[in-house]
């Protein structure tokens, strides 16, 4: 816990010590499992969704707590880095690809009316949840009756793979899972639930918020930092510390991810600042960039907007702390969700980094993350 008389000058780091029992702490760089029929490759689910050039559900409602808790609007402060394991709700079509056969070029998936961003739900009437399950069906070369979801609608189509280089191919890249790194913004007052990222987890190819079947927070260890620079945002690097889950992810929304914890978190209680009280001026960012745990770094809010159409970009934050700038160059991937503190209260969370200036980025109001998601 940081005492009030500790120095803020010269970018001095202010630390909160967190034990493993206090919940989510650590994890590795964003990596997703991608496959094209009969071929598995490495891909990315971009958890730090947007990099910018230039300046509610039942669960979310229950997350806010009891009437008395809502009146005081207090939460436990986050800043912990954690890992994310995800499984999509259906096999997502990440992209289409032409197939070169003897004397012809075709794309069976495109011919079947399939588009990138669609979710394959079943094949020949049997639900498919993994790349392997879908690949097994398509590898026979027979026509397959598929049921897919596009947005809110489902549709049926027939896909006929083609033989190329001795293998039957469908002409589509598919994904069924992902993993990544992010930061917890806050925990519920009783320490059983958490909110993180301040934006949705999106597929790197389609840029759409991933519809998840299941997911879990995971413990990681940070092993390095790739500093950001103009034109090349950096990232936190790390690895899974333990295969055990720390809880369950229950929601992936436009304004963040929400989950529950197996063990209660116990940390510093802070009041959530109302939107109207958030103002330009000095702030602190709570972040984890090494094994030292959560630290507070100086920054400045340069803009505060009430634009409800840009909820994840209502704040513009500028990192000024020499220590953070020296280590990361500013805001890096993995810092999505870092709490922004103003006047000792939780004002918001970091959501994006400016590609041309990694010392600056966007943020979201903490109050927005608390509210029911429409």
pLDDT in tens, 63-94: 444 444 455 689 999 999 998 888 888 898 98
The HSE-up count of residue 346 (CA atoms within 13 Å, CB side) is 31
DSSP string across 171-233? SEEEEEEEEEEEEEEEE-TTSSEEEESSS--B-TTT-PBP-EEEEEEEEEEEEEEE--BTTB-
Which residue in 118, 205, 298, 321 is the catalytic one? 321
Lowest mean pLDDT across 126-130, 204-208, 281-285: 204-208
- Pick the most confident of 35-44, 240-249, 282-291: 282-291
- Which of 128, 131, 132, 123 lies closest to 160, judged by CA? 123
Is pTM beyond 0.85? Reply is no
Do the beta carbons of residue 68 and residue 166 sit within 8 Å?
Answer: no
Provide CB contacts within 8 A for 6, sequence distance 6+.
12, 14
Domains of the chain, by residue range, sit at: 9-87+176-370, 98-170
Buried (b) or exposed (e) across 59-83, using 16+ Cβ within 10 A?
A: bbeebbbeeeeeeebbbbbbbbbbb
Average pLDDT over residues 292-307: 94
Catalytic residue among 253, 298, 336, 352: 336
The per-residue pLDDT for range 184-221, each reduced to its tens digit, is 999 999 999 999 999 988 776 677 787 888 888 988 88
Q: Which of 188, 191, 215, 187 is closest to 201 using CA atoms?
A: 215
What was the pLDDT predicted at 72? Answer: 61
Is 336 among the catalytic positions?
A: yes
Residue 120 pLDDT class (50, 70, 90 cuts): very high
Per annotation, catalytic residue among 199, 265, 318, 352: 199
What angle is formed at CA 122 by the lines to CA 121 and CA 127, rounded to 5 degrees? Answer: 95
Helices and strands (H, E) in the chain, number of each type: 6, 27
Neighbours of 167 (CB within 10 A): 14
CB neighbourhood size of 41 (10 A): 9
> What are the backbone dihedrals phi and psi of residue 104, each rounded to the nearest 5 degrees, phi first?
-155, 160
Confidence of residue 52 (pLDDT cuts 50, 70, 90): low
CATH class of 98-170: mainly beta
pLDDT above 50: residue 62: no
Separation in Å, CA 323 to CA 158, 181, 299, 307, 319: 57, 22, 11, 32, 10
Name the residue among 272, 259, 250 with its Cα closest to residue 344.
Answer: 272
Let me know if 305 is a catalytic residue: no
Which fold does the domain 9-87+176-370 belong to in CATH?
A: Thrombin, subunit H (2.40.10)
- CA 190-193-199 angle, to 5 degrees, is 135
Give 57's pLDDT tier (boundaries 50, 70, 90): very low
Q: Identify the pLDDT of residue 289.
A: 93
In the three-class reduction of DSSP (H, G, I as helix; E, B as strand; rest coil), residue 113 is classed as coil
pLDDT at residue 46 above 50?
A: no
pLDDT on residue 213: 81
């Amino acid at each position: 816990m940081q005492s009030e008389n500790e120095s803020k000058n010269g970018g001095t780091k202010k630390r909160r010590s967190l034990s493993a029992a206090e919940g989510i702490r650590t994890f590795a760089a964003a990596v997703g499992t991608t496959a094209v029929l009969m071929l598995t490759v490495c891909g990315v689910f971009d958890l730090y969704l947007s990099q910018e050039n230039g300046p509610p559900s039942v669960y979310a409602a229950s997350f806010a707590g009891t009437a008395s808790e809502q009146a005081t609007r207090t939460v436990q402060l986050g800043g912990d880095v954690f890992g994310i394991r995800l499984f999509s709700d259906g096999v997502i079509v990440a992209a289409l690809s032409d197939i070169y056969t003897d004397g012809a070029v075709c794309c069976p998936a495109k011919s079947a009316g399939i588009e990138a961003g669609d979710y394959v739900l079943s094949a020949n009437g049997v639900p498919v949840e993994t790349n392997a399950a879908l690949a097994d069906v398509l590898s026979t070369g027979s026509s397959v009756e598929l049921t897919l979801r596009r947005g809110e609608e489902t549709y049926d189509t027939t896909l006929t793979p083609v033989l190329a280089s001795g293998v039957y191919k469908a002409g589509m890249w598919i994904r069924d899972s992902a993993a990544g790194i992010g930061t917890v913004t806050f925990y519920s007052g009783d320490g059983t639930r958490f909110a993180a990222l301040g934006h949705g987890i999106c597929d790197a190819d389609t840029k759409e918020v991933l519809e998840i079947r299941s997911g879990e927070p995971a413990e990681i260890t940070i092993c390095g930092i790739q500093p950001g620079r103009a034109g090349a945002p950096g990232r936190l690097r790390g690895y899974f510390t333990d295969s055990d889950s720390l809880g369950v992810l229950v929601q992936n929304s436009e304004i963040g991810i929400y989950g529950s914890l197996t063990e209660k978190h116990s940390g510093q209680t802070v009041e959530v600042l109302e939107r109207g009280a958030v103002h330009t001026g000095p702030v602190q960012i709570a972040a984890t960039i090494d094994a030292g745990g959560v630290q507070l770094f100086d920054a400045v809010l340069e803009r505060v907007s009430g634009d409800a159409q840009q909820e994840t970009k209502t704040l513009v934050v500028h990192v000024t702390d020499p220590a953070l700038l020296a280590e990361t160059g500013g805001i890096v991937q993995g810092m999505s969700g870092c709490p922004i503190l103003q006047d000792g209260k939780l004002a918001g969370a970091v959501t994006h980094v400016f590609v041309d200036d990694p010392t600056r980025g966007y943020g979201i109001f903490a109050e927005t993350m608390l509210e029911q998601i429409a």
